[in-house]
Amino acid sequence: MSKLFSPAEIGPYKLSHRIVMAPLTRMRADPGDIPSELMVEYYTQRTSNGGLIVSEATPVSIRGYGYAGAPGIYSDAQIPGWRRVTNAVHAKGGRIFLQLWHVGRQSHVDLQPNGEAPLAPSAIAAEGHAYTKHGEAPFSMPRALELHEIPGIIEEFRAGAERALRAGFDGVEIHGANGYLPDQFLQDGTNKRTDEYGGPIENRARFLLEVTQAAISVWGADRVGVRISPSGTYGSMSDGNPPATFGYVATQLDRLGIAYLHVVEPRIKGTEEIAHGQAPIAAQHLRPKFSRTLIAAGGFAPHSAEAIVTAGDADLVAFGRHFISNPDLPERLRRGLPLNRYDRSTFYGGDARGYIDYPAAEVASPA
């Protein structure tokens, strides 16, 4: 019998299967960073009864932006749009957590208020490109946050968590992965601070743990999750001792009692597979340190997803790209049906094409 299709729990919620829709930035919001009707249709299509969706990353402040067209959760004006999304997901029996986002240094002056420098733990630029309204542009040199500014950023996460509650989400996930602000504090390649937010891991983890506690203050620990990418190099990330850094993080998050830890596996660097990827060991490595639900993500195929939950190294498996092109992915996996191929050219931004026009199996291959 398939373990992937056995029931599971996440915080207070019962799930009917173990396939999660991974957070996926698609940049199809309306002006004002308001969730669009297209987004309502997209999430509705990808909802399964008893399944879990993690929303696309959603900035908690204007300074937290790096991708024009991403929907926000920094303003009350964005709540009704999200409410339409959560109502639609609930109507089909699904659950949805909002991913709270601050890109930190992975931004560009054109996206920042008054053209100011993006914010970071330390003034070190990332390699790569931000998505401005005028196209891709190299990440700008960031400015190191002053110590007295940090509580204000944590408050932005708390306020975002509160708006998510008012928008009808089932919980929130802190985006602590892929080289964004909490990850920039965690890893020593990007954090050269000498105050209580830099230096030893106890200090570098402080920002992520305080952000998590802020979300817990709104939601309770059992409806908060955290995503990390211990082996990710996307956004020029590096750390001198990832096992120690992320082992400490997993242990501390377990102490806080959060609902789940979401781990991007080592064979994925950001969003690209390594040509000769190693076995998925990150979730396995962190399993002994985290007692509640563990979600593994990154490069999974149906058989490897089944294998990791059967081995017990993860409780749930999140799929990214396959969910983009297969709105009915859980049903396809359950019935062993072939998968639609995804089109990378429509991943980031655009219109309905490559977004809500991938067919469900009933249409693609009638029984």
Q: Which residues bind ligand FMN (CB under 6 A)?
A: 22-25, 56-57, 99, 175, 177-178, 227, 264, 268, 271, 297-300, 319-322, 347
Taking the least distance from each CB to ligand FMN, the nearer of 53 and 117 is 53
| Least distance from ligand FMN to the Cβ atom of residue 226, Å | 11
Render the burial of 231-240: b for 16+ CB within 10 Å, e for the rest: bbbbbbbebe
| Least distance from ligand FMN to the Cβ atom of residue 340, Å | 14
Q: Which residue is nearest to ligand FMN (CB)?
A: 320
Q: Is 63 helix (H, G, I), strand (E, B) or coil?
A: helix
Strands (E), the chain: 8-10, 13-15, 19-21, 52-59, 95-101, 119-120, 129-132, 135-138, 143-144, 171-175, 224-228, 260-264, 268-269, 272-273, 293-297, 316-319
| Least distance from ligand FMN to the Cβ atom of residue 58, Å | 8
| Least distance from ligand FMN to the Cβ atom of residue 114, Å | 26
- Beta bridge partners, 138, equal 129
Taking the least distance from each CB to ligand FMN, the nearer of 4 and 144 is 4
| Least distance from ligand FMN to the Cβ atom of residue 315, Å | 17
Out of 42, 67, 180, 248, which one is annotated catalytic? Answer: 180
Taking the least distance from each CB to ligand FMN, the nearer of 51 and 320 is 320
Q: Is 180 a catalytic residue?
A: yes
Q: How many CA atoms lie within 13 A of 119 on its CB side?
A: 19
Residues 226 and 290: their CA atoms lie apart, in Å, by 12
Residues 313 and 181: their CA atoms lie apart, in Å, by 28
Taking the least distance from each CB to ligand FMN, the nearer of 203 and 271 is 271
Residues 6+ apart with CB under 8 A from 56: 23, 24, 25, 26, 70, 71, 99
Render the burial of 63-96: b for 16+ CB within 10 Å, e for the rest: bbbbbbbbbbbbeeebbebbbbbbebbeeeebbb
Taking the least distance from each CB to ligand FMN, the nearer of 82 and 117 is 82
Residues assigned a catalytic role: 180
